[in-house]
Amino acid sequence: MVRSQTLSVRLVDAGILIFLAVVTLLSLYPTWYTVVLSFSEKASANAGLVRFFPVGFNLSSYQIVLGDEKFFTAFGVSVKRVLLGGAINFAVTVLMAYPLSKQPKLFPGRNIYMWFLVVCMLFTAGLIPLFIVVTTLGLQNSIWALVLPTAVPVLNVILVMNFFRSLPKELEEAAVVDGSGPWKTLILIYLPLALPSLATVSLFSIVNHWNAFLDGLIFMNRPEQYPLQTYIQQLVVRIDPELIKSLTTEQLIKVMNTSERTLNAAKLVVAMVPILIIYPFLQRYFVHGIVMGSVKE
């Protein structure tokens, strides 16, 4: 029998719900403000009059961002980078995490490799040595310059390795008894059970590759090779007197109706849309993977 709640319990529950609602609104407001700011007119944005809704609805910022065909070229570069870089990160992470999850008696060099990973995670050589290595290997002005320097995500390897170590050892022992080799055990047993961890590190890789802009600016010499984030970052930089001289009357009107604040807001909105589309699909795999990973001994 369920007892009826007292007035004090109901008040506490109502207070908790109100608190959670306020926290949710405060968390969503920065994103909402960015969206409404991107649709507002220049004068209202610069004067700080935009609050909850667009003031002087204006699409000039999006016309500047999306009007150039180079935007779609940069978008394609970023998609290619995410697919290629994400696949490399996934393969390297799994192939490193699986042997490192074994005991030192099964993998004698495990501790040495772990020290290498920890040192690489704590200390980096810096930007100049990285540029020299990429240039010496002839990777500059190629997609490989964007994906190979980050091919080994150390944090992702450690996360997946710890998840593999948490799985019951009896599963692998049973697989060995049934004649399964290391590759078959990894693909048919460990990977399905590690879906929550793999979905998480995959999301990390996708977000990192999609949001990176500095490496494109450093390793790419031609604008048509820029990834999307580098292209968007350069939009504000290009709005200078030399560029204005080459604009048509219609383009000049769009620039005059656009402020740096609205343009920055527009490029933020454009940049986060693909991630907002991908995330719900990975979130579904989070739940699915947790269910599959609930192993009982």
**pLDDT, tens digit, 9 for 90 and up, residues 98-140:** 888 888 888 888 888 888 888 877 877 778 888 888 888 888 8
Question: Which pLDDT score, from 0 to 100, does residue 291 have?
Answer: 45
Gap between the Cα atoms of 107 and 105, Å rounded: 6
pLDDT average, residue stretch 226-253: 62
Q: What is the mean pLDDT of residues 14-32?
A: 90
Give pTM, 2 decimals.
0.74
State which amino acid sits at residue 270: V
Residue 237 above 60 pLDDT?
no
pLDDT of residue 1: 43
Which sequence spans correspond to the domains of the chain? 7-47, 60-292
What CATH number matches the domain at 60-292, 1.10.3720.10, 1.10.10.410, 3.90.1520.10, 3.20.20.70? 1.10.3720.10
pLDDT in tens, 219-234: 888 878 888 888 877 7
Mean pLDDT, range 235-260, rounded to an integer: 55
- Using a 10 angstrom Cβ sphere, with 0-12 exposed, 13-18 middle and 19 or more buried, the burial of residue 148 is middle
User: In this predicted model, what pLDDT tens digit does every residue of 184-196 receive, in sequence order?
Assistant: 888 888 888 888 7
Q: What spatial distance separates the first Cα and last Cα of the chain, rounded to whole Å?
A: 34
> What is the predicted pLDDT for the residue at 254?
57
User: pLDDT class for 153, splitting at 50, 70, 90?
Assistant: confident
Cα–Cα distance, 117 to 32 (Å, whole number): 40
